[in-house]
Structure formats: C-alpha cells, structure tokens
Structure 1
Amino acid sequence: MSDVVLEKALELGKLIANSEKYKTMREKEAAMMSDADAVALIEKFQHLQHSHQMMRMQGHELTDEQLNEVYALEDQMMANPLIREFAEIQDQFQKFLNQVNERISEGIEGNPPETHSCSACGPYT
C-alpha cells in the first residue's frame, strides 16, 4: 500500500510541476534572476538578513535604525516590478500548495474544508 501512496505522491508532484501556476512562477523567477538590478537588491537583502540574524544569535537586539533599514530595503525590492511580480506569483503558488495540503488532510482526517479552523492556512478559494 505504501508503494501506491508514494506513486500517487510522485504523480501529484508531476501534476503540480505541469500546472500553469508553477510554470508562471518559474518564468517570473527566471526573469527576475536575469535582471542585474533585481539580483543586486536580493543579494543586499539576504546579506542584511544574515547579518541581523547573526546579531540576534549573539544576543543583541536590533535597533530601530536597523529595523528601518530592513523595511526600506523591502520597500525598494517591492518597487522593482520583476521582484514584485515574482513575490506575488510565489504567494499565489504557496496558497495553491496550502489548498493541496488541505485536501490531503481532508482525505486523511475525513474533515471537509468547511470545518477546518486553521487561520494560518488562509481562506479557501
């Protein structure tokens, strides 16, 4: 029985990989990653995140100035149309995966989505 489940899981993965949502997300990602300005902003943001994470791991609190730097860089990133478009489609794809997981849970638990109360999963669409 577990072989059948794993086979179906692989089949589901392939169906997801062939979905328009996934293909569109990958197209937007490729466009974003081919743009030098977008890549520079992403790398700057990742470096800043890593730096702040290291500070927190060492027991330091982030100052308001450091937090504002993060927020300003996030705003700058979202002002880049390629980054914004990728972030939007990535969010839509994540919601789609949440719906898939919800249906799997429904199959396991036998609870229809209407009775589910996990606010972290977001609304059903």
Structure 2
Amino acid sequence: MSDLILEKAFELGKLIAESDRYKTMREKEAAMMADVDAVMLIERYQDLQRSHQMARMQGQELTESQLNEVYELEDKMMQHPLIKEFALIQEDFQKFLNQVNDHISEGIEGPRPAHSCGHT
C-alpha cells in the first residue's frame, strides 16, 4: 500500500509540474534571472541578508541603519517589474500548493467542520 501512495504522490508531482501555474512561474523566474539588473539586485539583497545573519549569529544587534538598508533594498527589488511579477506568481503558486496540502489533509482527517464567526 505504501508503494501505491508514493506512486500517487509522484503522479501528483508530475501533474503539478505540468500545470500552467508551475510553467508560468518558471517562465517568470527565467525572465527575471536573464535580466542583469534584476540579478544584481537579488545578489545584493542576498549578500546583505547573509552579512546580517552572520552578525546576528555573533550576538550583534542590527542597527536601525542596517534594518533601513534592508527595507530600502527590498522596496527597490519590488519596484523592478520582473522581480515583482515573479514574487507575485510565486506567492500564488505557494497558495496553490497549500490548497493541495489542505486537500491531502482533508483526505486523511476528513472534512473540517465549518467555523462559526458569531457568538451566541
């Protein structure tokens, strides 16, 4: 039985890889990575994140100036159309994967009871 489950999981993975959502996300990623300005922004951001992580691991608190530098670079990245487009489609794809996971969980545990918002 566990072999069948793994086989079905593999089939699900293949279906996801063939989906328009996945293909579009990969196309947007390739376009972003082909853009020199986008890659430079991403690399600067990753370098900054790494250096700040190393500082935190050494027990150093980040200064307000360092935090502002991160926020400014994040804003600049999200103003780049290819980065912004990829980030949005990647977020949408992650939501889709969460839905898939919710359906798997529902298959295991049964339907979740509806939550009522009102109080009586």
Q: Which range, TM-score by smaller chain?
A: over 0.9
* 1:1-125 equivalences in 2 (<5 Å): 1-112=1-112, 114=114
- Once the two structures are TM-superposed, the CA of residue 114 in structure 1 deviates from its matched residue by 4.0
Task: Count the aligned residue pairs.
Answer: 115
Deviating above 6 A after TM superposition, structure 1's stretches of 4 or more consecutive aligned residues are none
The separation in 1 between residues aligned to 2:41 and 2:113, in whole angstroms, is 39
Task: Provide structure 1 residue ranges, at least 5 long, that are not aligned to the other structure.
Answer: 116-125
Whole-angstrom distance in 1 between the partners of 2:64 and 2:108? 46
Q: Deviations over 1:49-100 (max 9, x none)?
A: 0000000000011011000000000000001000000000000000000000
- Measured after TM superposition, the shift of residue 113 of structure 1 is 7.3
Q: Counterpart in 2 of 1:119?
A: none
Identity %: 73
Cα deviation for residue 111 of structure 1 reads: 2.7
* TM-score of the aligned structures, taking structure 1 as reference length: 0.89
Could you tell me which amino acid in structure 1 is paired with residue 62 of structure 2?
L
Question: Which consecutive residues of structure 2, in runs of 5 or more, have no partner in the other structure?
Answer: 116-120
Cα distance in structure 2, aligned partners of 1:35 and 1:88? 17
Matched position secondary structure for 1:17: helix
Structure label with greater radius of gyration: 2
**Residue type of the partner of 1:32?**
M
CA distance 1:88–1:9, shift in 2 (3 Å): same
RMSD in angstroms over aligned alpha carbons?
A: 1.1
Structure 2: how far apart are the matches of 1:62 and 1:114? Answer: 44
